[in-house]
Structure 1
Amino acid sequence: MSDLEYGPVEFVLVGFQGEAPDPGVVDAVRELVHEGAVRIIDALVISRTIEGDIETIEVEDSTNVYGLEDADLDLSGLAADEDIEYFAESLEPGTSAELLVVELLWAKKLASRLAASGGVVLASERIPAPIVNEVVATARQE
């Protein structure tokens, strides 16, 4: 079997104050893209005004501001209106977030290799880093 065209995709919502992310956030995203860990295939910025209104900006028009100048936004628009609404619910008034649609390149390679050998990934569940760290810290105290 040949390699899969796309690997598993994950939505990542990165929150920040104001209208643009901190340079540290921009650098973190750039680093992961440059290392080949992920490929950003769609991105937008969601803002909730002080009045509570939701505004969105397609990142493809200003990729350098958001650290995505090397992103491959060939699937721009993949995040549907329902996705945007879902993630926008978590924003407090006066805050913004970058919604990244991230292709997990390591998982793409794994899925391709498994498929070539007759296997298939049946399910995958992500445990958020804060929860993992809390569980490990608690276990170490016992």
Structure 2
Amino acid sequence: MTDAALDELGPVDFIVVEFPAGQSNFTGEMADELVRLVDAGLIRVVDILILAKDDDGAVEALELSEAGDLGGLVSIEAELAELLAADDVAHLAAAMEPGSVAGVLVYENLWSAGFAAAARRAGGQLIANGRIPIQAIIASIEADAELETAGQ
């Protein structure tokens, strides 16, 4: 990447989607949705890995090109960088349950690249970001509803 391209880089995030033992189901629907996000200009895929953790805790990491039939992901695969190092893989795999399989997606948020570049040109820097898991939001809404019901 050139310095100019780095100046325009948007925030880069990752997600890990785990499938419990015996339930790995990387359907075409997931690939289609990922391609749709790329085609819409919302994200740029930086790296994709598939992690398999056996019952003894040993982890095998596969790059997308090693995963077999890529379907609609063929167009994305050619542009991938191998960004994640072995230490990153070990850290991500530590959160996985034994016997599970997970997909790791590293992506640039193109939708916010202009804002991020403008903030950097203004002298700002991103010092924190985060994500609230949907399970936590659901739990919070349910807890509020229970409190409301109990208070009536």
Provide TM-score, normalisation by structure 2. Answer: 0.72
Between stretches 26-35 and 98-107, larger displacement belongs to 26-35
Question: Quick one: distance in 2 between partners of 1:97 and 1:27?
Answer: 18
Which structure has the highest helix share of the two? 2
What does 1:7-86 align with in structure 2 at a 5 Å threshold?
7-16=10-19, 17=22, 21-62=26-67, 65=70, 67-71=72-76, 74=79, 76-86=81-91
Query: Shift of the alpha carbon at 1:135?
Result: 2.7
What does 1:98-117 align with in structure 2 at a 5 Å threshold?
98-117=103-122
Percentage of matched positions with identical amino acids: 29
SS in 2 for 1:125: coil
Question: Quick one: distance in 2 between partners of 1:43 and 1:101?
Answer: 6
Query: Shift of the alpha carbon at 1:35?
Result: 1.9
Q: Deviations over 1:41-86 (max 9, x none)?
A: 1111110124432111111445852753232665522111111011
**Match in the other structure for 2:94:** 89
Which consecutive residues of structure 1, in runs of 5 or more, have no partner in the other structure? none
Q: Contact 1:8/1:107 (CA < 8 Å) preserved in 2?
A: yes
Which consecutive residues of structure 2, in runs of 5 or more, have no partner in the other structure? none
Question: Quick one: distance in 2 between partners of 1:64 and 1:105?
Answer: 27
Give structure 1 regions of 4+ aligned residues with deviation exceeding 6 angstroms: none
Q: Aligned partner of 1:43: which letter?
A: I
Q: Deviations over 1:25-45 (max 9, x none)?
A: 223322222222111111111
Q: Confirm whether residue 135 of structure 1 aligns to residue 140 of structure 2.
A: yes
Q: Deviations over 1:95-122 (max 9, x none)?
A: 2111111111122221113334554444
SS in 2 for 1:56: strand
Provide TM-score, normalisation by structure 1. Answer: 0.76
How many residues are aligned here? 141
